[in-house]
Amino acid sequence: MNVPFASPLAFTDALRPLSEGKSLWFIFSGDKLLTAEDGQNIPDQPCLNLKRNIYIGTLAGQHLFAAEAEQEAQIPSGWHWKGLRVLHGVLSDEYYAVAGRAMQLLCWDRVHKYCGSCGKETFIREVERCRECPSCGHLAYPKLAPAVMALVRRDNQILLARGPHFPEKFYSVIAGYVDPGETLEQCIHREVLEEVGIRVKNIRYFGSQPWPFSYSLMIAFTCDWEEGEISIDPIELTDANWFDHTNLPQLPPRLSISRMLIDAYLFHSTVT
């Protein structure tokens, strides 16, 4: 399963550099990353005006920084702004994972510059990755939104659905955000029942993937159809149906764990 992540042996999270060494700067303007023209290389120094930067840790002995460029910053010749989606498969898996982490930490730092309780300007704590309010003591940690997705199987078929904002002819697995007080398994039962009107069983963990585009942690499962016929929630979906490997619709991009779920089914269905 090729879920993009930095090996725990290669990446080390840290709040500040503990030694001298080479650096890599993951510099963003909005959701676009500054890379070399080929999209494979990252600057080794802060090569333009920045309005914030955060030390992330180390990767294979190199110090990592996340940074946000000033809006009017002029980029050096030979460098370009590129979206993370188009960089998947171009950047190394390790760089891609660090870039996703960097983008999320920059958003956290930007959003929590001021206290959400009293409005005072916060500061970064020295002992942990957290912004603290000096007035009321409110602590703002980087937050993730846990979301589950489920590949529902019935005999040799899988359930795929279209959301109202999906690209034309694009289908994916059932997914949704976890509610407060809900287990991951309860969320799957609820989401599948709400969106397509069927009940499932045999829920099994597949894998997880940090998803920087909505600051989520995607947690993927497989499960089996138990009972019911497809009846879609028209607010959530425009269509849902059963598919096998001979009649698949347009699928999610290969960088996503939803596609990895589907590819695992396809591999299994063609070798058994």
pLDDT band at 19 (very low <50, low <70, confident <90, very high): confident
Q: Which of 103, 36, 29, 91 is closest to 66 using CA atoms?
A: 103
- Tokens 């912004």 belong to residue: 131
Q: For residue 261, which of 152, 112, 105 has the smallest C-alpha distance? A: 152
pLDDT at residue number 133: 97
Which range has the worst mean pLDDT, 103-107, 109-113, 249-253, 254-258? Answer: 254-258
pLDDT, tens digit (0-9, with 9 covering 90-100), for 24-63: 999 999 889 999 988 899 999 998 889 999 999 999 889 9
Classify the C-alpha dihedral 255-256-260-262 as positive or negative. Answer: negative
Predicted confidence at residue 270, as pLDDT, reads: 67
- Across all residues in the chain, what is the average pLDDT? 91
Judge whether residue 4 has pLDDT over 80. no
Q: Which domains does the chain have, with CATH numbers?
A: 11-111 (3.90.79.20), 145-271 (3.90.79.10)
pTM: 0.82
At 148-166, the pLDDT tens digits run 999 999 999 999 999 998 8
Q: Are 120 and 136 within 8 A, CB to CB?
A: yes
How buried is 79 (Cβ within 10 angstroms: 0-12 exposed, 13-18 middle, 19+ buried)? middle
Q: Could you read off the pLDDT of 60-91 as tens digits, one per residue?
A: 889 999 999 988 778 889 999 999 888 888 88
